[in-house]
Structure 1
Amino acid sequence: MKLLLSLLERLTCQHFFTVLPTSAPQMAVAELVKGVPWIFSGESVHLKCSVPGNVSAEWRYRWFRGGEQLQESEYFVLWKARPQQSGKYYCQGLRTTWISTQHTLHSLPIEIEVDGGWAILQAPPLPMLVGETMTLTCRVRDNPRLTEVILYKDGVELQRQPGPELRVTNLTLQHHGSYWCRASWDGRRETNSVISEAAPVSIIEVLTEPVLEIVPNDPLIHEDRMLLVCQVQLNAREPVPHIHYYFYQDGLSLGPASSQDRVTVLRDSGQYWCKASVPTLGLKRLSEPVPYGRVTGEHSEHMRNQKRIVVRQSPFRMRHNADQWHQFS
């Protein structure tokens, strides 16, 4: 009888545990709540760890730098930091239930740079967009009253200002590079001057140049048709505007503007390209032409000339009859 009860108990437990729902592990979030990522030695930063959507849950938090576990707490304070404490900091949430201890995925890292020098050029940590204005700040240890700040890019002087803030307006891709600053101030008997370490600045286009992909054998469409895909990236601030897509063959439009980045067309030889337009930003870009089937060199040169004037075509003209253009769905 005892053996029978033991087997029944074991089977019941196994059945119970197999029906428990499982979910993908969550990711912890590490954030900088006080201070800046690039600090002077002797300064402090405050970090916080959390698990989104679990305010009432009894989570504990572990902090790491690289592969080293630091401490277990919700907040982590780098107090009077030293240069040796520079690195990537991240956290993990964990909680103990009646079944087991659950662990979240590690958070994305926050990189803290502790500078032992006298000057720091604070630059945007994320890429800036073409056309925007960038503000750079030349910080000097102990905050003396500066008399002159010089901004350099890739070894070339860009501007001089009496204060620590430097602004670069109407950014272009040519502004991508390494920046540093030289700050000067008057001491008791002499003028002091210090130079910061170089800070990288990344500039990206709002709308990249489209790339047209021709997929002649897509299993989801009819065998006498092929798929055109217009690949483009929109790097815009919130709210993100909509992209309008246009497709062309041999200088003629294959249909009206669409919010879809792909269309299906009859399989036919010719030169194809696409256009991406963002009307709210006044932007439009054309892809390079892509040949399909038998296209002669003379035909290719003619199509390159057609590409230059295709933007001015309005209203659109169908390449074939109205049944030929189909949006991909």
Structure 2
Amino acid sequence: MGTARSIALLLWAQLLSLVGSQPPLLTMDPPWTPQFVGQNVKLTCGEPSVSSSSTWYTNGQWWKKTPSNHLHVELSGKGKYSFQCQTQGSELSPAVHLTASYDWLALQVPTRAVLEGDSLSLRCSAWKDKKLSQVKFFHDGKLLQDSRGDELLLSPAEQQHSGSYHCSAYVHFFSTGLKASAQIDLVVQELFSVPELSLQGPQEPPEGSALTLLCSTRGNALRPHVSLQHLFYQDGRLVGGPQSAPQHRVPALLPSHSGSYSCQVQTETGSVRKRSAPITVTVRRIPVAGVSLHSDPPDAQVLLGDRVLLSCAVAEGSGPLSFSWHRQNRTGALGSGPLYELQAAQLGDDDRYHCTASNGISTASSPQLRLAVTLPVSNASIAVLGTEVGAELERTAGEELNLSCRVGEGTGPVGFVWLRDGQELSRGPTWHLGVLGPQHAGTYQCVAANSLGTRRVFEARSPEVLLVVTRQGWGRRRAQVLAAGLPASLLVLLAVAAALARHFWRRRRGGESHKRGAAGSDARGTTWGQRGDNGAPPGTLTASSPLPAAASKRQHRDPAAPPGPSSPPILSTEPSEPDYINVPPRTPSAEDVLYCTVTITEHRGGASPRGPSAPQEAAVTYADLRGMQHPSDSYENLPHQ
């Protein structure tokens, strides 16, 4: 746009300059030269209808000044004359050359300058207009065959008409004779110069850039107001004009714009036409570069069944462009065009994708884009050794236990969180609990989760599993005791005894210093003891093992491992009164748990048994007495009823 404006301003300035310096046009009537001696001619300076004072010059010298722009001149002698004129404020007019002749025959040409496109007429005249016959015209010594009578018409005039002319004819005067005129030189001037075509930019412009063609020509100062038309051709085919503007613009070049360009300048009537020399323009294609792949949704992470739209874009590269789609784990193209759509993404569509763009001379590919198809996790469960467990899982202290979390379905990566009594304790698909102790008892649950990028998170919680940790062999012993018919009343009695013992012990311990003592045992093999927060039984204790607590807080208070095995109880065949040993005093604590150990000795039938059986493994009964923290409380063992 700026270039076109500059060109227009330059042409307008040139036009104004021509108008400001335009000289008057000097004409002569009759407008022929040579003239015969004794003839009169009329000179007019400028426009005939405008009368103004004029100054006249002959042969380059000042001649006279007249109040009007008209002057009559009589040719009084043989010779050459040159006339010029000037009006007020103007420059000198172009000269009009006139020759006065005494010859019998003269070839007359226009006195004014002959320009291309003019109507040119040549006359063969005799002195005092005598009659002529058999008139012939010659150009550069060659006879012209297209003459008619005593006048030769050359219209429109062309530069090739320039040259030396003369005529011959029979002049009928007192006697008839063949005469030949003198030769006269005729010059046909350019109306405008041959145009020149130029490019604003390189001859090998890149595809997509703009192309501006400028057709330049120079006009003749004798005809400053001639209206010219411009035409532009590509490979001989008209692509612009006719138009008055001397430029032609192609806003965006394509490969089809390559070719040979030329321009033509002509008059409005087409009488004068001139064409420039051709210029070859080669449109250069830009190599494909900067291929990028975009997705909707932007992160290319979708749920199973969602719609996915992939689009391919090119930063550089001239067209026409072709596109193809590919994925990493499949041979062959998936499709063509700048877009690739999956109406409902499936798990099998999870892969890396890329697109390729080509313009026929170069090819480039985009970086790979991972399309992730997510299936939310579901059906989480807890398993041991690959077998799903039920609502309750019973294990013996001292065993090793590993829990694994499984999901029924769901795409990875899947994260796992382990909860015990609602509190997070571990992460990962497997929880290695190690060697079991009472502290491991509780309610377990695993939470599996996967996500859809950063937008959504999906969770699946397993059913809760209650882990019960029993003392080694207690499960088997409990079955044996029940099979032996141990009365339920004895179990109740033991529980009451434990509660009273704790109460008694706490009363006894109130005023004493912190000491560790040994726990006593009765003849029936019942052992009492107290456990502190450090997990080790105070004093000397027999084999005992606390049962796991139900609440999470209790689990943290339980010892890390069960107490060590007790000494075998002393067995007797004679009934005896039980011995009572109080628990050594210690400053009471809210976290203390009282427990006792019961050892059962079997006697085989009758009043006089043959001997006691081997003592069975001790069982532990706990009694948790909350709130009884008075220093004056005391506890004691209860005899067997």
> Which range, TM-score by smaller chain?
0.5 to 0.7
Structure 2 vs 1, CA of residues 163 and 287 (structure 1 numbering), >3 Å: closer, same or farther?
closer
Distance 1:89 1:227, change over 3 A: same
Alignment partners' CA distance in 2, 1:135 and 1:153:
14
Q: Once the 2 structures are TM-superposed, how far is the Cα of residue 169 of structure 1 from its aligned partner? A: 7.5
- Contact conserved, 2:119 with 2:155, CA < 8 A, in 1? yes
Aligned match of 1:87 = 81
Q: Does 1:273 align with 2:267?
A: no
CA distance in 2, matches of 1:161, 1:287: 33
* 1:77 is the counterpart of 2:72: yes
* Equivalent in 271, 279, 300 of residue 290 of structure 1: 279
Alignment partners' CA distance in 2, 1:135 and 1:163: 12
1:196 aligns with 2:196: no
Q: Which residue of 2 aligns with 1:214?
A: 199
The Cα offsets for residues 252-301 of structure 1, whole Å up to 9 and x where unpaired, read as: 98965462331344689965413448797599876443246799xxxxxx
Letter aligned with residue 273 of structure 1: Y
**Measured at CA, do residues 192 and 128 of structure 1 come closer, stay the same or move farther in structure 2, by a change above 3 Å?**
farther
Q: Using the TM superposition, give the Cα deviation of residue 180 of structure 1 relative to its aligned residue in structure 2, in angstroms.
A: 0.7
**Could you say what secondary structure the match of 2:130 adopts?**
coil
Change in 2 beyond 3 A, CA 1:64/1:159:
same
Say if 1:290 and 1:46 are closer, same or farther in 2 by CA, change over 3 A.
same
- Does residue 1:230 correspond to 2:226, yes or no? no
The whole-number CA distance in structure 2 between the counterparts of 1:105 and 1:29 is 10
Paired AA for residue 144 in structure 2? L
Secondary structure of 1:142's partner? helix
Computing the radius of gyration from Cα coordinates, the structure with the larger value is 2
Find the counterpart in structure 2 of residue 63 from structure 1: 56
So what's the TM-score if we normalise by structure 2? Answer: 0.32
Q: 2:91 aligns with which of 87, 90, 105?
A: 105
1:31–1:255 Cα change, 3 Å = closer
Compute the RMSD of aligned alpha carbons.
Answer: 4.9
- 2:24·2:45 contact (CA, 8 Å) conserved in 1? yes
Question: Could you say which residue in structure 2 is the equivalent of 1:143?
Answer: 129
Contact 1:36/1:45 (<8 A) preserved: no
Find the counterpart in structure 2 of residue 312 from structure 1.
Answer: none
* 1:41 aligned onto 2:37: yes
Structure with bigger RCO (C-alpha 8 Å, 6+ apart)? 1
- 1:180: which partner in 2? 166
- What amino acid is the match of 1:194? K
* Contact 1:275 1:284 (C-alpha < 8 Å) held by counterparts: no
Counterpart residue type for residue 78 of structure 1: V
How far apart are the structure 2 equivalents of 1:286 and 1:26?
28
CA 1:253–1:153: 2 relative to 1, 3 Å = closer
Deviation at 1:53, TM superposition (A): 9.5
Q: Secondary structure at the match of 2:128?
A: coil
> Which is worse superposed, 163-172 or 135-144?
163-172
Return the alpha-carbon distance in structure 2 between the equivalents of residues 252 and 146 of structure 1. Answer: 50
**Structure 1 CA distance for aligned equivalents of residues 126 and 109 of structure 2:** 14
Deviation at 1:81, TM superposition (A): 2.9
8 Å CA contact retained: 1:119, 1:141: yes
The alignment covers a number of residue pairs equal to 250
More moved, 70-79 vs 260-269: 260-269
The structural deviation recorded for 1:79 is 1.4
**Residue 34 of structure 2 contacts residue 109 of structure 2 at CA under 8 Å; is this kept in 1?**
no
Query: In structure 2, what is the Cα distance between the partners aligned to 1:93 and 1:213?
Result: 41
Secondary structure of the equivalent of 1:146? strand
Equivalent position SS for 2:129: coil
Instruction: Mark the runs of 5 or more structure 1 residues left unpaired by the alignment.
Output: 1-23, 95-102, 218-223, 296-318, 322-329
Instruction: Say which SS state the counterpart of residue 104 (structure 1) adopts.
Output: coil
Give the TM-score taking structure 1 as reference length. 0.56
Aligned-pair distance for 1:234?
Answer: 9.8
Aligned ranges 1:2-17 → 2 under 5 Å? none
Give runs of aligned pairs for residues 311-326 of structure 1, distance below 5 A: none
**1:121–1:138 CA contact under 8 A, matched in 2:** yes
